[in-house]
Structure 1
Amino acid sequence: MEAVLRLFRKELIQVFRDRKLLFSTLVLPVLLMPVFMFGPSLFLSRLLQGAAERVQEVAVAGLPEEALKALEAARLKPVPVPDPEEAVREGRFPAGVVFREGAYRVFGRLASGLGESQVVVEKVKGALQALKEAQVAEALVRAGLPKEILSPFAVEVVDASPPKEKAGGLLGFLLPFFLVVFVLSGGQVVAVDATAGEKEKGTLEALLAAPVPLVQVALGKTLATVAMALLSGVAGLLGLALGGAWSARFGGGVLTERGETLALGGQVSLDGGSFLALFLTAFLLALFMGAVMVALGLYARSFKEAQSYMAPLQLLFLLPLLFLQFRGFLEIEAWHYLLPLFNVALLMDALLKGSATPLEVGLTWASTLVYALLALGLAVWVFGREDVVFRN
């Protein structure tokens, strides 16, 4: 075991000597994650709020007087033009309205996504809807009917999510996703340098000639990879948590296609047991991914080739996590917690929401440990293959 610890320290010392690498791996995620994840949403929400409060010009044709007054009441300035559709297409107006044969037709440039044109179109639709309701109410009064007939009952939607789930919001989905990203980015720094890097430097042969069992060599390098991966994951999640708190403080969120703001939460709270369970889950995940990266890095002929392997590996690891966003449409069963990576994402999501069961925890930990031991066995087998170690 002493040899494992020596290899562990050696690999980490080599990494910690590179200050630029440490800054980019451990410091930058804390500083940049709040900006990249929540800055654009906050900025765009301010833009949308400003666009909703400004008075915009709207191209109109054939509108009756009451419609023009409704648009003006909605902070819009109607401008008569011969062809509102053409005027909007050319970019001279963000929106246009035509009244023809008893129907209002609203034009906007909506194909490019969320923008001022979509905001103005929504303002026009809201103004015309209010006009429609007012005219219906007047017709009811003239017919001697009460206006309350328009709304015989009220519909109120209440979020019945558990407190932890409601407080976490989308952050509960983002945490497992970005944990994998940061574990991969931090772990590959050590894995590539400890395998393909030592090949290029010519130190790997001397290490393998030492009287140290191959399993200890593989385990030492894998544990160093795991340590750096966990440090990178903690740094990234710290930045994500700070960004979530910042977003919740200033009212940011994710903007949907309809211009609605979906809150990101950022107030995830864990008790001691859930925190330890989350940490152990992350450790087993890092052990599995670290062993895979060590085996793959040793197979590469050079440092550059090893780096080229890590990009598709990252996509492969992230693919199961993409299905996590559809978990609300799936009936989660016990065997789902045996699927590699997907089980970890499911368990982390359940831990953050406070809904994890002992069976889910046990299945995830046991299966992930088995996958990690298999990957570690693969790394040991690769270290024992001369045609792979001396592959150049």
Structure 2
Amino acid sequence: MKPVWRIAWKELVQVFRDRKLVFSTLVLPVLLMPVFMFGPTLFLSRLLEGTSAKVQEVAVAGLPQEALEALLKANLAPKPVEDPEKAVREGKYPVGVVYEGGRYRVFGRLAGGVSESQVAVGKAQAALQGLKERKVAEALAAKGISLDLLHPFQVETVDASPPREKAGGLLGFLLPFFLVSFILSGGQVVAVDATAGEKEKGTLEALLAAPVPLLHLALGKTLATVAMALLSGVAGLVGLAVGGVLSARLGGELLGQGGQVLSLGGQIQLDGGGFLALFLTAFLLALFMGAVMVALGLYARSFKEAQSYMAPLLLLALFPLLFLQFRGFFELQPWHHLIPLFNTALLMDALLKGQAEGLQVALTWGSTLVYGALALILAVRVFAREEVVFRN
């Protein structure tokens, strides 16, 4: 196996000689992930807090005095306007309220994402809802009816998630997605340079002329790809973890539509066995995708063509991960852990939540190892075809 390690070491040395490439692949993710992942959300959280405390002008028409007073208490400044709906549509006011026929109508520009108009609409709705409840309470009190009639019982929602799943927060949901992304982006750096790059430099012919079996050549280049993919994955996870810790300390939270608080941070709680299982899952995934990228790189005529193959491969690999957010809507079956890429995402999610079962682990590891072996065989066959290797 010495030729395999020598080839792998040669490819890694070539990559690490490029300091800019090493910085962008291994260092930059650690620095930028906290900013990109949690910076905008923390900024939005602070922005929403500031907007809620700000006094917005509201276009009104036909409102009784009690409604005007309720809006004033909600940090809204009523301004009489003939057509509040038109005024809001033209952007003159963030919110408008009209009262006619016993009905309040609240107007806002709600189709453009999170905006000041949405915040102002929420404040107006809360003010009018409070006014409604107060008038109902006064009517009941006038008739001698107890106010307890309005609240015959209380409803309390309690998060019954397992402790490990609850501690993970948003970080636990994002980790499988970004782990796969960094594995692919880091692996393609070596895979493309070790295949199509060597074609353009004219060094692949000399390598093929060496007394080394094609299997060893393919395996060496694949192992170098796997090593760089894992290093990139570790760098991305470090950056993600740092961002999660900083977000949790800064109190980054968003209020969900149901009133629940969504934590932007999170903590990954894994014991030694859990970390080992997660690492082995990532290794098998990197082995599978590394062999695929080596085969594609050999098939490409040029460095640029190889890079054009990697972009669709990344999208294809991320597509199964999109369904991970819907896993709570269907019951997992054993065969789900045989689907390439989707099975590793499911297992990573289960490991982070402490819900992984032996059958899930066996099916995922076994099937991914088989897929990796098949991809490696494909890479060897591509090496063996001269019309493909020398078609540049």
Query: Within 1, Cα distance between the matches of 2:256 and 2:216?
Result: 51
- Report the alpha carbon displacement of residue 254 of structure 1 after superposing the two structures with TM: 6.0
Kept after mapping to 1: 8 A contact 2:296/2:306 = yes
Kept after mapping to 2: 8 A contact 1:113/1:257 = no
Query: Within 1, Cα distance between the matches of 2:57 and 2:264?
Result: 34
SS in 2 for 1:79: strand
Q: 1:259–1:97: structure 2 CA closer, same or farther, 3 Å change rule?
A: farther
Kept after mapping to 1: 8 A contact 2:248/2:265 = yes
Query: Within 2, Cα distance between the matches of 1:187 and 1:323?
Result: 24
Query: 1:16 is matched by which residue type in structure 2?
Result: F
- Report the alpha carbon displacement of residue 256 of structure 1 after superposing the two structures with TM: 5.6
Query: 1:3 is matched by which residue type in structure 2?
Result: P
Query: Within 1, Cα distance between the matches of 2:312 and 2:112?
Result: 31
Query: Within 1, Cα distance between the matches of 2:145 and 2:70?
Result: 24
Kept after mapping to 2: 8 A contact 1:182/1:232 = yes
Question: What residue number does 1:7 align with?
Answer: 7
Pairwise CA RMSD of aligned residues? 1.2
SS in 2 for 1:97: strand
Query: Within 2, Cα distance between the matches of 1:377 and 1:304?
Result: 24
- Report the alpha carbon displacement of residue 258 of structure 1 after superposing the two structures with TM: 8.1
Question: What residue number does 2:233 align with?
Answer: 233
SS in 1 for 2:35: helix
SS in 1 for 2:155: coil
Q: What's the TM-score, normalizing by structure 2?
A: 0.98
Kept after mapping to 2: 8 A contact 1:16/1:22 = yes
SS in 2 for 1:355: coil
Q: What's the TM-score, normalizing by structure 1?
A: 0.98
Question: What residue number does 1:369 align with?
Answer: 369
Query: 2:210 is matched by which residue type in structure 1?
Result: A
Q: Which runs of structure 2 are paired with 1:219-258 in the superposition (5 Å)?
A: 219-253=219-253
Kept after mapping to 2: 8 A contact 1:114/1:259 = no
Query: Within 2, Cα distance between the matches of 1:292 and 1:246?
Result: 37
- Report the alpha carbon displacement of residue 134 of structure 1 after superposing the two structures with TM: 0.3
Query: 1:384 is matched by which residue type in structure 2?
Result: A
Q: Which runs of structure 2 are paired with 1:1-392 in the superposition (5 Å)?
A: 1-253=1-253, 262-392=262-392
- Report the alpha carbon displacement of residue 262 of structure 1 after superposing the two structures with TM: 2.1
Q: 1:256–1:307: structure 2 CA closer, same or farther, 3 Å change rule?
A: farther
Residue range with higher mean Cα deviation, 148-157 or 82-91: 82-91
SS in 2 for 1:169: helix
**Deviation per residue, 1:272-299 (Å, 9 max, x gap):** 0000000000000000000000000000
SS in 2 for 1:47: helix
- Report the alpha carbon displacement of residue 12 of structure 1 after superposing the two structures with TM: 0.4
Query: 1:267 is matched by which residue type in structure 2?
Result: Q
- Report the alpha carbon displacement of residue 208 of structure 1 after superposing the two structures with TM: 0.5
**Deviation per residue, 1:93-147 (Å, 9 max, x gap):** 1101000010000011111111100000000000000000000000000111001
Kept after mapping to 2: 8 A contact 1:38/1:253 = no
Query: 1:361 is matched by which residue type in structure 2?
Result: V
Identity level (%): 76
Query: Within 1, Cα distance between the matches of 2:210 and 2:25?
Result: 32
* Aligned pairs, number: 392
Q: 1:276–1:308: structure 2 CA closer, same or farther, 3 Å change rule?
A: same
Kept after mapping to 2: 8 A contact 1:61/1:83 = yes
Q: 1:111–1:380: structure 2 CA closer, same or farther, 3 Å change rule?
A: same
Query: 1:109 is matched by which residue type in structure 2?
Result: R
SS in 2 for 1:59: strand
**Deviation per residue, 1:57-116 (Å, 9 max, x gap):** 111111001001111111111111111111111111110100001000001111111110
Query: Within 1, Cα distance between the matches of 2:364 and 2:253?
Result: 31
Kept after mapping to 2: 8 A contact 1:106/1:121 = yes
SS in 1 for 2:195: helix
- Residue ranges of structure 1 left out of the alignment (5+ in a row): none
Q: 1:275–1:48: structure 2 CA closer, same or farther, 3 Å change rule?
A: same
Structure 1 runs of 4+ aligned residues shifted over 4 Å read 253-261
Query: Within 2, Cα distance between the matches of 1:204 and 1:142?
Result: 93
Query: Within 2, Cα distance between the matches of 1:233 and 1:255?
Result: 31
Query: 1:62 is matched by which residue type in structure 2?
Result: G
